[in-house]
């Protein structure tokens, strides 16, 4: 299923969901055939957005990608080309000018849009370590909420204008820190709480136009953004010990759920935060595993 056209860069096997591609062979059209999706948030092959892009590609969607700045351009384009996508654009979500330009480009190239994936978050590094009280400055609060929550509202405005009569779907990524205190997650937890409220308010506004808005609350996955959170490795180990499935989730786990939520299979689902976390968030108490 990986693009092999002339000039396509080869993508290491680690980046590909080969076993799912094999499973899909012979099953005919994917459940996102005919859909056009803008993926915001790819920074590396480990990005959750890249996992989502791969599953959406597997299910037949046509994809466009944004990159946050010129430094990221080549890396994102290489990944995009590896699955046959040629439509890429700069998009820093703190710039209204860049947001307008991105949706203008989509309108020119595609005429409309079916799916927007928002997988973007940022907080200054010092704010996601140590004491919440000591390390949450007014500026860190502002930046975290602007980049990680307001950006969904801003992108939804541009996307919704291109989704009339198309059963559009918006999807964002949240984390358990929205509803529970988690060591080091700090101000990002507040931003995720805002993001989850954002999902509900947008769903209420856009529902009458047939546009659905959902979020996935993902378990921890090692990505560039996650590496900035102090003690992240401890989180991974803890989840693998305590979660009902006794493992961490993968890019592919999240990608599959995202593809479903953005497809017509989920036509009755909106304003939902779906936990893709191996069940971790449901556990009230755990004891060290006993032998036998
Ligand atoms: N990795 C995890 O453990 C985990 C768990 C739950 C939720 N999430 C969420 O998933 C989403 C994706 O993060 P990830 O873990 O894949 O990390 P990542 O570093 O791969 O992706 C974060 C993305 O945000 C982008 N970004 C940051 N500031 C931006 C700006 N101003 N404009 C545009 N883009 C900007 C980065 O370029 C990057 O592509 C985030 O919302 C994150 O909070 C991650």
Does the CB atom of residue 223 touch ligand 1 within 6 A?
A: yes
Instruction: Output the CA–CA distances (angstroms, integers) from residue 133 to 13, 185, 189, 194, 256, in the order listed.
Output: 44, 12, 13, 19, 37
Which pLDDT score is estimated for 290?
A: 62
Nearest to 221 by CA among 181, 176, 282: 176
Q: Is 47 in the pocket of ligand 1 (CB under 6 A)?
A: yes
Radius of gyration of the chain (CA): 19
Pocket test residue of 15, 42, 45, 48 for ligand 1, highest count of atoms within 8 A of CB: 48
Which of 3, 67, 150, 175 is labelled catalytic? 175
- Give the 3-state secondary structure of 32-58: CCCCEEEEECCCCCCCHHHHHHHHHHH
Q: What is the pLDDT, as a whole number, of residue 87?
A: 98
Query: From the CB of residue 290, how many other CB atoms can be counted at a distance below 10 Å?
Result: 5
- Per the annotation, the verdict on 175 as an active-site residue is yes
What domains are there in the chain, each with its CATH number? 31-280 (3.40.50.720)
**Residue 225 Cα to ligand 1 middle (Å):** 5
pLDDT of residue 2: 33
Please tell me the predicted confidence (pLDDT) of residue 1: 29
* Distance from the alpha carbon of residue 119 to the mean position of ligand 1, in angstroms: 5
Return the closest-CA partner of residue 66 out of 36, 46, 41.
41
Q: Which residue's CA is the closest to the ligand 1 atom numbered 32?
A: 92
Told to judge if 23 belongs to the known catalytic residues of this protein, a careful annotator would answer no
pLDDT tens for each residue of the chain, 292 residues long: 233 333 344 445 445 555 555 455 555 689 999 999 999 999 999 999 999 999 999 999 999 999 999 999 999 999 999 999 999 999 999 999 999 999 999 999 999 999 999 999 999 999 999 999 999 999 999 999 999 999 999 999 999 999 999 999 999 999 999 999 999 999 999 999 999 999 999 999 999 999 999 999 999 999 999 998 889 999 999 999 999 999 999 999 999 999 999 999 999 999 999 999 999 999 999 987 665 4
225 lines ligand 1 (CB under 6 A): yes
């Amino acid at each position: 299923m990986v693009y092999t056209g002339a000039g396509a860069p080869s993508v290491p096997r680690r980046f590909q969901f080969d076993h799912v591609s094999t499973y899909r062979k012979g099953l005919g059209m994917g459940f996102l055939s005919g859909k056009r999706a803008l993926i915001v948030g790819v920074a590396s092959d480990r990005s959750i957005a890249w996992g989502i892009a791969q599953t959406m590609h597997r299910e037949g969607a046509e994809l466009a990608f944004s990159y946050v700045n010129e430094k990221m351009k080549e890396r994102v384009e290489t990944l995009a080309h590896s699955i046959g996508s040629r439509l890429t654009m700069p998009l820093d979500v703190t710039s209204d000018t860049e947001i307008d330009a991105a949706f203008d480009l989509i309108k020119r190239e595609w005429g409309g849009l079916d799916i927007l994936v928002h997988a973007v978050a940022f907080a200054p590094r010092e704010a996601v370590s140590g004491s919440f009280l000591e390390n949450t400055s007014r500026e860190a609060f502002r930046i975290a909420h602007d980049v990680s929550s307001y950006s969904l509202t801003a992108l939804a405005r541009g996307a919704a204008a291109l989704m009339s009569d198309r059963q559009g779907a918006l999807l964002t990524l949240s984390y358990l820190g929205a509803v529970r205190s988690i060591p080091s997650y700090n101000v990002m937890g507040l931003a995720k709480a805002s993001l989850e409220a954002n999902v509900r308010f947008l769903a209420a506004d856009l529902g009458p136009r047939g546009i659905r808005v959902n979020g996935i609350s993902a378990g921890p996955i090692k990505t560039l953004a996650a590496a900035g959170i102090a003690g992240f490795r401890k989180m991974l180990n803890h989840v693998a010990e305590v979660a009902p499935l006794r493992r961490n989730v993968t890019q592919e786990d999240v990608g599959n759920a995202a593809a479903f939520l953005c497809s017509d299979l989920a036509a009755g689902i909106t304003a939902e935060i779906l936990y893709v976390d191996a069940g971790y968030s449901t556990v009230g108490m755990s004891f060290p595993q006993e032998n036998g």
